[in-house]
Structures are given as C-alpha cells and as structure tokens.
Amino acid sequence: MVFVLKQNINLEDKKFISLAIEQSRKSVKEGGFPAGAVIVKDGKVISHAISVGYKNNDPSGHAETAAIREACKNLKTSDLTGATLYESVECCVMCFSVAYWSGVSRIVYACKKTPKMVSKSYYEGATDNQILNKENNRKIELVFAPEFENESLSVIKEWEKQGGFNKN
C-alpha cells in the first residue's frame, strides 16, 4: 500500500476539526495542555476530550488517548475501525500508537508538529508519524487541515502567554 498524506478535507472534516480546536480551548481553561480531540464514526461524535494529563499527574492523559478510551467505552469495544480521530495538533507517538492499536482509520489534524514545539518539550521528540505509518502493518489515513493551523496555533500561543507548563 502506498502512503499518501492528504490535505483535502470535506465539510464534515471542517466541522469536526473545529470541535477539536474548541476542545483545546476548553483544555486551556481547565489548566491543561492546548490539545483537543474528537472521535467520529458514521458521521456522529462518539467522544471528545481535552489534555489534562500534566495537571492530573497522568502521563497518558493526552486528549487523543482520552478520546479513544472514551469512544471504546461508549461503543463497548476496543475496535474503532471506521472511526476518524480529529486533533487540534498532530499527535505524539504515544497517541499515534493508541490510535493504531484501537483501529482508528483516519487522523485529521489542524496543526503540524514543529521543531520549535519539540524544543519546548511539547512532544517527546521529532519522530515523524508519517514514517511510523509507512512502517506499520496497518496504515492510518493521515490528513492535514492547513486552513485550521493558525487557529490551533493561536490557542497554543494563548496558553504560552498564560505560563504554559509553568502555570500554577
């Protein structure tokens, strides 16, 4: 199977990526990292989550992982085949792996991981999910939504102005 990063999103994608960015704003308001996630299957929101792992002393409490957990709970299955994970920011390797193991079919994200974000420890490192995806047994369709990147970055910048990880 040939891997292709897509950048074309449809109206439904736009609606749900906006919801993921709303979740990132909620995360900041609740003292979390500026990341939000939404799981959609068959056109319906199955779950949504914010990233409060740092605040709750839970290293796995990222928005994407929390949304996947909740979706599996809501659907009473660990198989999310056919589901799309919408993210305000490109997921870390841990969350990408959880998406893989849960069977998520698509990931749509608003903001790419950058070297600057990696240098600020917003990510574990510069590992590229596209490369991981190429090497995995099952491929996840990765879709970048560049028209939402500035909106997502504005949430991150607001969080940084509020003190970021150093916020009390």
- The catalytic residues are 64
CA angle in degrees (0–180, nearest 5) for 86-87-88: 135
C-alpha distance across the termini of the chain, in Å: 48
Contacts (Cβ under 8 Å, ≥6 apart) of 165: 33, 54, 121
37 neighbors 87 (Cβ within 8 angstroms): yes
| 77 Rama sector, left if φ>0, alpha if ψ -120 to 50, beta otherwise | beta
The kind and range of the H/E element at 21 are: helix 11-29
Q: What is the largest CA-CA distance in the chain?
A: 48
